[in-house]
Structure 1
């Protein structure tokens, strides 16, 4: 029920901000020249508007309780000011009470929820290779396709791939990395995924390109890889966020046993910025868990390095690509918005809103140092502690 008290609370929260709110066609806060207008459509949202959180506003948008008028950048920037929160620092006391969720069945269901929406939907706004992870803008003015190709080369060079080596890609997506590594670097590769759609898509590409003797894709959980199968190099790109904090040691132990002595692994994934954080605050982590990535969990880079080291792997190189992911995500948002009508036909209004607000919110989080994106290269030393690795990074930047 809309009351004068609620209206006063909303007006107070918006003081000084170029934001207006309408209810039943009438403006109840702000002014006509606002950069963002919140059109309240359902009484459920009134309490959220009076005591806003970023996750609460995102939920209201997805559930169609509000319409948001304005650019995605303005919506996120003014939404953060409206809520008055630094989401990277607000989550340090969140408990790991859902540690039990990462069974094989749960993880498969969670992956299917996010990635099996529609191959064609992802094709609308990803690059031509459908690489669904942070691009690498070496100069800053590259197109999305160019930046994603440079990211693939960046990874392959960090792994020092050589012809004939065996490469494992854990969470291979639509096959961008394994196809690039096989065709450009001459390796033999195995990619694994839990997504039925991705598996079928990559299988078709392997057949079309005649790579059956050099590339294999499996519908498989990383925990089920045979213990007697080993690889010279291993990549994991945008996957370990699904592992779960309690399973990080198991994850790196598995990689250690799959990796040949002297081999390298490159782990590329999102980490929190707050050291003790288990997810973004202002109800963002809850929104992402409920609507976007069920079971996804973040941790600080220091915890990743600790678990990796305890598994026997030696950290060799760490690079934070945070600015690159913000730029990547804004390009995804712009491409999705430009193809809104096609997206709505494919997946409907609700899912379109989920992906739009999630990607815009993630771009904002990377831009404002709430999230980081680390690529970590590690190796498996021999029994004497020796690992053949260059003295400088010229093999990467050439």
Structure 2
């Protein structure tokens, strides 16, 4: 008897070659050209579960080891589905689940409850040993800048920090606020490369511990400090010359865009500059992907630029510059996934097999969003006064060249202490 999933795949897979096998036999879908992927199910129920709710159950069945990849990998499986048109294959079950998730998202977005601490802890307070498996030497957990394209992950992360620092127009003695300071790499770079005094805020206890330890080891504790602080509650009496936020805005939530930018206005000097580096998508999402919401980033939201701009304007900020980086995160995620899988057994020892399969699915699915769904990175430069930044972009390259000279003499980064 043909499963619901296989009937669905017969409608979807036109390009490529997907072989599906399991207790009920083997079947091939597609025209044989392009990607070649082979999967095997360990039980018949797995196929029916995925057919009933592919957005969530594909991940869960894979996490449970009931879906095995025999040719290709999980990214290739996701990509071969996205290579084909899905709209004609929507079932009534998919439609009603989608409508239910839209309703649930509207309720969540309409109830202004601050769950920032809980949501951040869910992801960033995982063992530091896990992130050490796949991040670069500076523990940059955001999109790298592959310019030129063939540089290493570490070099691309340095290029990202350099590019952002140049847009900040950071100068010696300036006070910088970093909203979402990660493991401290950006703050330390700004202090050393630009001579600034940096305050980084985070809601992760684990990131706070690692950041403070790293800054102390480099002798930067007098110029770089990290605090467990929600941006909601930053005092307006303390002003900063520069604000930078990298990879944090995705956790703000659609309901809080206005609050985020109003707080930036409160704490930014009148002639100050802010640089926001975040993930965007080409259109507003009706709801978060259920796998990401449940297992990876609860409460997160990837905005479209059209959703962000009104809050910036209402807060009284001016957009001085926007740069779109369309594929750099796809390259970053590919590096992370390859590095993670190369140390797979270590990851299993830290957590377990199900966690590792979940993390692999997360990295592969995120990469696919950039290769197949037109997600992108935007870097937005914001000011209160138009002439707070030059009226041409030549200064970016000029400042980057100066920072490259500094990087050639910078002392190596110390390993993170667990």
TM-based fold match above 0.5: yes
Establish whether residue 9 from structure 1 lines up as the match of residue 12 from structure 2: no
Residues 210-249 of structure 1, C-alpha deviations (whole Å, 9 max, x = no match): 1121011001111121221110000111111111111100
Residue 277 to residue 11, structure 1, CA distance change in 2 (3 Å): closer
Runs of 4+ in 1 over 6 A off after TM superposition: 90-93
Take 2:329 and 2:5, find their aligned partners in 1: how far apart are those partners?
A: 38
More divergent stretch after superposition (314-323 vs 65-74): 65-74
Partner of 2:327, secondary structure, is: helix
Q: Which region of structure 1 is more displaced relative to structure 2, 57-66 or 313-322? A: 57-66
CA spacing shift, 1:273–1:55, aligned 2, 3 Å: farther
Q: Distance in 2 between matches of 1:14 and 1:313?
A: 46
Instruction: Find the counterpart in structure 2 of residue 130 from structure 1.
Output: 139
Whether 1:337 and 2:346 are equivalent positions in the alignment is no
Match of 2:27 in 1: 29
Bigger drift between 287-296 and 48-57 goes to: 48-57
Which 10-residue stretch deviates more, 368-377 or 58-67? Answer: 58-67
CA contact 1:10–1:49 (8 Å) conserved in 2: no
- Retained in 2: the 8 A contact 1:40–1:66? yes
Q: Work out whether 1:397 is the aligned partner of 2:407.
A: no
| Mapping 1:1-398, distance limit 5 Å | 3-4=1-2, 6=4, 9=7, 12-13=10-11, 16=14, 17-24=16-23, 27-30=25-28, 35-50=36-51, 53-69=54-70, 70-81=72-83, 84=86, 94=102, 95-99=105-109, 103-104=113-114, 106-274=115-283, 276-279=284-287, 285-381=289-385, 387-398=387-398
The answer as to whether partners of 1:9 and 1:50 remain within 8 angstroms in 2 is: no
- Structure 2 distance, partners of 1:43, 1:180, is 53
SS in 1 for 2:164: helix
- Cα shift at 1:322: 1.9
State the shift of 1:150 in Å. 0.5
- Matched residues, number: 381
Deviates more, 1:360-369 or 1:244-253: 360-369
Cα distance in 2 for residues equivalent to 1:311 and 1:258:
12
Q: Is the alpha carbon distance of 1:206 and 1:41 closer, same or farther for their aligned partners in structure 2, counting shifts above 3 Å? A: same
Distance 1:8-1:153 versus aligned 2 partners, 3 A rule: closer
Task: Give the TM-score normalised by structure 2.
Answer: 0.85
Decide whether the 8 Å contact of 1:322 with 1:372 is kept in 2. Answer: yes
Aligned to 2:408: none
**In structure 1, C-alpha distance between the alignment counterparts of 2:384 and 2:351, rounded to whole Å:** 44
CA distance in 1, matches of 2:232, 2:13: 52
Asked if structure 1 preserves the Cα contact closer than 8 Å seen for 2:178 and 2:244, the reply is: yes
Q: Secondary structure at the match of 2:280?
A: strand
Q: Compared with structure 1, are the counterparts of its residues 234 and 170 closer, same or farther at alpha carbon in structure 2 (3 Å cutoff)?
A: same
On the 8 A contact 2:82/2:372 being kept in 1, the answer is: no
Q: Which runs of 5+ in 1 are unaligned?
A: none
Give the direction of change, closer, same or farther, for the CA distance of 1:364–1:7 in structure 2 (3 Å limit).
closer
Equivalents in 1 of 2:374, 2:107: separation in Å? 22
Deviation per residue, 1:161-220 (Å, 9 max, x gap): 000000111000001100100111100000011111100001111221111210110011
The change in CA–CA distance for 1:60 and 1:216 in structure 2 (over 3 A counts) is: same
Question: Cα RMSD over matched residues?
Answer: 2.5
Shift of 1:9: 1.7
Deviation of the 1:96 alpha carbon: 2.5
Q: Partner of 2:415 in structure 1?
A: none
CA–CA distance in structure 2, aligned partners of residues 230 and 99 of structure 1: 30
Separation in 1 of the partners of 2:259 and 2:6?
Answer: 52
Give the distance between the partners of 2:5 and 2:365, measured in 1 at CA: 26
Q: 1:7 to 1:250 in 2, by over 3 A?
A: closer
**Preserved contact between residue 187 and residue 199 of structure 2 (Cα < 8 Å):** yes
Per mean C-alpha deviation after superposition, the further-off stretch among 137-146 and 365-374 is 365-374
On the 8 A contact 2:170/2:196 being kept in 1, the answer is yes
SS at match of 1:211: coil
